[in-house]
């Protein structure tokens, strides 16, 4: 993804090129240093500060998180069937005992995709500009999550996860309302209602359910067509129509 830096009102702003009418959205702002003001382009020091804000985790990565991220990276690069538990242990720099403390088998990792999604949202929570409107926050978060999915997760595993969620007798992780995904986005919906940005013909929970259904439906369709189109680009065209319903009321 391409990031753009512009100077405005005494600070440099990181902007993202969304594929809809809301094209350069401010996400992070930092005050410029003296050298920044005297340069045509942000220098390396500023770039590193911005880059650091974008990639530094909000909290120390847990052992379980390291195993999950290593596993999904390997599933994407090598395929699920070709990835062994030993490969995951090596990539995550853990031990066999540690792996089996968290997971009974490699198959147990297939239900951790929602955990990976929530970690992405926690990362985004640390960098998003709180002054953005609820509308722009939702556009940004959806784009970033779907871009991460299409560039780092095997579409066949998405399809497997969805089919498994339909028949499992265990907890359905994708629809667990205790997830960070649900709690944070419900707060954004409530902020939109409280500010008058969204019409109060529905509750924050209702809006959250509609938004989540939209994302699940698009992920299902993308999986059904085996990733033949860009998930993030297609969503960037469709999501504004859903959010118009939030603004105008249903």
Give the pLDDT of residue 222.
Answer: 94
**Does the pLDDT value for residue 177 go beyond 80?**
no
- CA-based Rg of the chain, rounded to a whole angstrom? 20
pLDDT attached to residue 11: 39
Give the residue numbers spanning the domain of 89: 63-104
pLDDT at 114: 80
Least confident piece of the model among 40-44, 135-139, 210-214, 221-225:
40-44
Q: Is the domain of 129 the same as that of 183?
A: yes
Please tell me the pTM assigned to this model: 0.68
Assign 168 a pLDDT band (cuts: 50, 70, 90): low
Shared domain for 129 and 83, answered yes or no, is no
At residue 54, the pLDDT reads 40
Residues 83 and 119 both lie in one domain: no
CB atoms within 10 A of CB 48: 11
How far is Cα 144 from Cα 10, in angstroms, rounded to an integer?
A: 27
Q: pLDDT tens, 4-60?
A: 333 333 433 344 444 333 333 334 334 444 444 444 433 333 323 333 434 334 455
Alpha helix segments (H runs only) across 4-130: 34-37, 44-55, 63-78, 85-92, 96-102, 113-125
* Higher per-residue pLDDT: 140 or 10: 140
Give pLDDT tens digits for 88-100. Answer: 999 999 999 999 9
As a dihedral over the C-alpha atoms of residue 144, residue 62, residue 101, residue 71, rounded to 10 degrees, the angle is 40
The C-alpha atoms of residue 70 and residue 91 are separated, in whole angstroms, by 6
End residue of a domain, out of 104, 121, 136? 104
pLDDT of residue 113: 79
**What total of structural domains would you count in the chain?**
3
Q: Which two tokens stand for residue 237?
A: 């065209």
Same domain, 150 and 223: yes
What are the distances in angstroms from CA 6 to CA 35, 105, 232? 15, 48, 24
Do 208 and 156 reside in the same domain of the chain?
Answer: yes
Predicted pLDDT at 79: 84
Higher pLDDT, 127 or 157: 127
Number of residues in the chain: 250
CATH number of the domain where residue 249 is located = 1.10.357.10
- Mean per-residue pLDDT over the chain, rounded: 77
Q: Are residue 147 and residue 250 in the same domain, yes or no?
A: yes
Indicate the burial class of 227 (C-beta count within 10 angstroms; 0-12, 13-18, 19 or more).
middle
Assign 15 to helix, strand or coil: strand
Q: Note the pLDDT of residue 167.
A: 54
For 47-72, write each residue's pLDDT tens digit: 233 334 343 344 556 898 899 889 88
- Residues 178, 130, single domain; the answer is yes
How much of the chain exceeds pLDDT 70, in percent?
A: 70
Sequence-distant (6+) residues with CB within 8 A of 119 are 65, 69
Q: Which of 81, 97, 92 lies closest to 157 in space, CA to CA?
A: 81
CA nearest neighbour of 114 among 54, 81, 60, 161: 161
Distance CA 200, CA 139 (A): 20
Contact call for residues 197 and 223 (beta carbons, < 8 A) = no
């Amino acid at each position: 993804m391409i990031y753009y830096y512009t100077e405005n009102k005494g600070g440099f702003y990181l902007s993202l090129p969304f594929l809809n009418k809301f094209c350069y959205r401010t996400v992070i702002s930092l005050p410029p240093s003296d050298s920044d003001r005297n340069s045509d382009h942000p220098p390396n020091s500023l770039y590193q500060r911005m880059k650091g804000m974008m990639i530094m985790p909000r909290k120390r990565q847990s052992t379980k998180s390291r195993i999950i991220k290593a596993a999904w990276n390997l599933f994407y690069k090598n395929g699920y069937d070709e990835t062994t538990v030993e490969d995951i242990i090596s990539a995550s720099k853990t031990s066999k005992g540690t792996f089996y403390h968290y997971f009974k088998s490699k198959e147990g990792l297939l239900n951790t995709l929602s955990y990976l999604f929530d970690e992405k949202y926690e990362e985004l929570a640390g960098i998003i500009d709180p002054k953005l409107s609820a509308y722009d926050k939702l556009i940004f978060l959806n784009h970033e999550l779907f871009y991460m999915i299409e560039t780092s997760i095997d579409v066949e595993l998405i399809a497997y996860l969805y089919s498994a969620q339909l028949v499992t007798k265990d907890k359905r992780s994708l629809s667990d309302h205790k997830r960070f995904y649900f709690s944070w986005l419900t707060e954004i919906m409530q902020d939109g209602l409280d500010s008058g940005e969204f019409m109060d013909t529905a509750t924050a929970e209702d809006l959250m359910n509609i938004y989540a259904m939209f994302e699940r439906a698009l992920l299902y369709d993308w999986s059904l067509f085996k990733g033949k189109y860009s998930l993030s680009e297609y969503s960037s065209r469709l999501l504004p129509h859903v959010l118009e319903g939030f603004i105008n009321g249903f």
